[in-house]
Amino acid sequence: MRKRRTYTARPKLGSNTRRRLMLKRLHQKVIQRRKQFQQSTMLEEIAEAC
């Protein structure tokens, strides 16, 4: 049997790909939270120093 030449809009994602995407999103949230925490602690230290 021959492969169809028509382009399918989007192939179904395998569970592995889906897992990687979820981890990527979660990791972005964690990184953002860390940045926010570092900034807030830095501001507090500056305020205490003054």
Dihedrals phi, psi of 14, to nearest 5 degrees: -75, 160
Task: Provide the 3-class DSSP secondary structure of residue 39.
Answer: helix
Q: Does 46 fall in a domain?
A: yes
Tokens of 25: 């999103």
* Domain containing residue 31: 19-50
> One digit per residue, pLDDT tens: the chain, 50 residues?
677 777 666 666 678 999 999 999 999 999 999 999 999 999 899 888 87
Tell whether 9 is covered by a domain: no
Residue 11, domain member (yes or no): no
Q: How many domains does the chain have?
A: 1
Question: Model-level pTM?
Answer: 0.55
The answer to whether residue 30 is domain-embedded is yes
Examine residue 38 and state whether it is found in any structural domain, yes or no: yes
